Amino acid sequence: MTELFKYIVVDDDEIDRLAIEAEADRFPFLQRIAVCSHSVEAFELIGRFRPDILFIDIEMPDISGLDLVRRLSGETPIPVFITSHPEFAIEGYELEAFDYLLKPLSAERFDHCAMRLLDFLRLRSKAYAFDKDHQTGSLVIKQGYEKFKINIPDIVYLEAMKDYTRIVTQNGQYLVLCTLSNMISQLPGDKFVRIHRSYVVNLGRVDALKGGKVYLRAHELPVGKLYKKLLNDLL
């Protein structure tokens, strides 16, 4: 059975709403439950339908997309901001936006966002707690009565996913209930470096840095402009 994750689209421009729907319709795991043109209506629909995902514009009449997300409480949907204004990106990430897409929508960029959403929503249902074994320097992953260790050199990269961090190792991946910033503090600073607001890599796993991207075996990650010089100096 195909997993279904519910979403709502909020945008005051009809053409942009249709563009978001067209992109999302290509993914069978995304189920549209409502489309609306302003935040007041969206607030009521979110309370009624409890969507998993919110594809939302930022600049809208009366209440902006940013203000709507600020007003949500409890078990809130994952916000993905879609806007023509890159200058709002920092504010969006401060609200722990899952992603920030620029208009006009790029199919490739939306694909990347959709697959990250699928990974996150699947993993979130079995998220782990973690601790650090200071004697061995390993991360201890815990879920219920299960407990096992991840050797830090086996970590390929880390990815921020809202309040969680995805740990990608050479043998698998795990989602832990811990922010990326807190996770970084548990790792040796001479071996792990931030390359993007959402990514931290193990320098020992980096194969190449080309064209604004880092290559780590089968993985390809973007490098943020603010981090490019530091990464060049370290490699």
Beta strands in 104-224 (DSSP E): 129-133, 138-143, 146-150, 155-161, 164-169, 173-176, 192-196, 199-202, 208-210, 213-216, 219-222
Measured in whole angstroms, the distance separating CA 122 from the mean position of its chain's CA atoms is 13
Worst-scoring range by mean pLDDT, 10-24, 71-85, 134-148, 219-233?
Answer: 134-148
C-alpha to C-alpha distance for 179 and 152, rounded to whole angstroms: 17
Q: Give pLDDT, residue 158.
A: 96
CA distance 168 to 109: 21
**pLDDT value at position 93?**
59
Supply the pLDDT for residue 159.
Answer: 93
* Backbone angles phi and psi of 121, in degrees to 5: -65, -35
For residues 129 and 143, what is the distance between their CA atoms, to the nearest angstrom?
6
State the average pLDDT over residues 28-57. 95
pLDDT of residue 74: 67
The pLDDT assigned to 95 comes to 64
CB half-sphere exposure, 41, CA atoms < 13 A: 13
- 192 CA to centre of own chain: 19
Mean pLDDT of 177-181: 89
pLDDT digit string, tens, across residues 41-53 = 999 999 999 999 9
175 vs 97, higher pLDDT? 175
Name all domains of the chain by residue range, CATH numbers in brackets.
Answer: 5-124 (3.40.50.2300), 129-234 (2.40.50.1020)
Say if residues 145 and 159 touch (Cβ distance below 8 Å).
Answer: no
CA distance 128 to 141: 6
Mean pLDDT (the chain, rounded): 88
- In the three-class reduction of DSSP (H, G, I as helix; E, B as strand; rest coil), residue 73 is classed as coil
Q: What is the pLDDT of residues 151-165, one digit of tens each?
A: 999 999 999 987 899
Is residue 92 over pLDDT 60?
A: no
